[in-house]
């Protein structure tokens, strides 16, 4: 594969992580928007060093290689952009109301249905691998996730076809990415606000506790702490928040 090759979808059975495979392909010159999809991951990666577990065949496990065309100031906006695209895609294939939780989880009825991980590597040219895991067919979750995770099958009684989910995801990803690159963050930001499960909620992110007030112009969360707005650029909404978090 080389840089001028057409973007492609690489479908694999079992991998350690689709993220690792995407980075390997990138190192060999794979084109922007190359997609890696696997049936199963033996070492799926989650945010903040966690593992992402999914029994074989239950989920859409995808990594999209992005060679960003964005100015440095807009790079952080890719994360909420992917969250919006994923929520929209889920809503297109199943009759569920998918919402986004800062920074980029996708929830249905307060439970996590999809997780998103953006990774880049130091040095070399700008490259981001966007990893998306969408729970499609799980009928149950391990005890530590139960009550906090859901799948499309659990929500609707039926798992969508994985290829249908992938097609919807890529269509939404391409559309929202193009909008971000063409018009900047504002349209994405507005859609994120509409889909938000976070705004208006009491949240705790690391040492900052208050009411989630808005998404800033670069994707940071603005938290109202006793009347003054604090910016949170990274982190995770923690257990100090309402029980469903």
Binding site for ligand BTN (CB under 6 A): 17-19, 41, 44-47, 50, 52, 61-63, 105, 115-117, 131-133
DSSP label at 139?
Answer: S
Q: Decide if 222 contacts 215 (C-beta within 8 A).
A: yes
Q: CA–CA separation, 95 vs 221, rounded Å?
A: 29
Cβ neighbour number for residue 49 with a 10 Å cutoff: 6
Q: Bin 124: left if φ > 0, else alpha if -120 < ψ < 50, else beta.
A: left
Residue 69: CB minimum distance to ligand BTN, A:
22
Q: Please identify the residue of the shown chain whose CB is closest to the bound ligand BTN.
A: 115
Whole-number Å distance between alpha carbons of 172 and 149: 23
Q: Closest separation between CB of residue 25 and ligand BTN, Å?
A: 13
Q: Shortest Cβ distance from residue 142 to ligand BTN (Å)?
A: 15
Q: Please say which residue, 129 or 223, places its beta carbon nearer to ligand BTN.
A: 129
Of residues 18 and 210, the one with the C-beta less far from ligand BTN: 18
Q: Least distance (Å) from ligand BTN to the CB of residue 141?
A: 14
Q: How far is CA 239 from the centre of its chain?
A: 21
Residues 6 or more apart in contact with residue 42 via CB below 8 angstroms: 14, 15, 16
Rounded least distance, CB 228 to ligand BTN, Å? 30
Nearer to ligand BTN, 86 or 220 (CB): 86
Q: Between 210 and 221, whose beta carbon lies closer to ligand BTN?
A: 221
Residue owning tokens 């193009």: 178
Toward ligand BTN, which CB reaches closer, 52 or 176? 52
- Between 62 and 152, CB nearer to ligand BTN: 62
> Rounded to the nearest whole angstrom, what is the least distance from the CB of residue 17 to ligand BTN in the complex?
3
30 secondary structure, DSSP code? P
Helix (H) or strand (E) run with residue 128 in it: strand 128-135
């Amino acid at each position: 594969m080389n840089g001028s090759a057409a973007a492609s979808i690489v479908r694999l059975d079992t991998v350690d992580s689709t993220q690792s495979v995407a980075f390997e392909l990138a190192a060999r010159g794979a084109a922007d928007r190359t997609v890696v999809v696997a049936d199963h991951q033996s070492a799926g990666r989650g945010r903040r060093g966690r593992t992402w577990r999914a029994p074989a065949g239950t989920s859409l496990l995808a990594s999209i290689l992005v060679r960003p065309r964005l100015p440095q100031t807009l790079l952080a906006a890719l994360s909420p952009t992917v969250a919006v695209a994923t929520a929209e895609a889920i809503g297109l294939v199943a009759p569920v109301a998918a919402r986004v939780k800062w920074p980029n989880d996708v929830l249905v009825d307060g439970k996590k249905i999809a997780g998103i991980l953006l990774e880049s590597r130091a040095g070399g040219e700008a490259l981001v691998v966007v990893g998306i895991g969408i729970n499609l067919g799980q009928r149950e979750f391990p005890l530590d996730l139960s009550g906090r995770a859901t799948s499309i099958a659990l929500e609707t009684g039926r798992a969508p076809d994985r290829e249908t989910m992938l097609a919807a995801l890529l269509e939404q990803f391409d559309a929202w990415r193009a909008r971000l690159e063409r018009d900047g963050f504002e349209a994405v930001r507005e859609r994120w606000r509409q889909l938000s499960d976070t705004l208006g909620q009491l949240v705790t992110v690391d040492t900052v506790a208050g009411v989630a007030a808005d998404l800033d112009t670069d994707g940071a969360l603005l938290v109202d702490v006793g009347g003054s707005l604090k910016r949170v650029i990274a982190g995770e909404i923690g257990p100090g928040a309402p029980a469903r978090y």
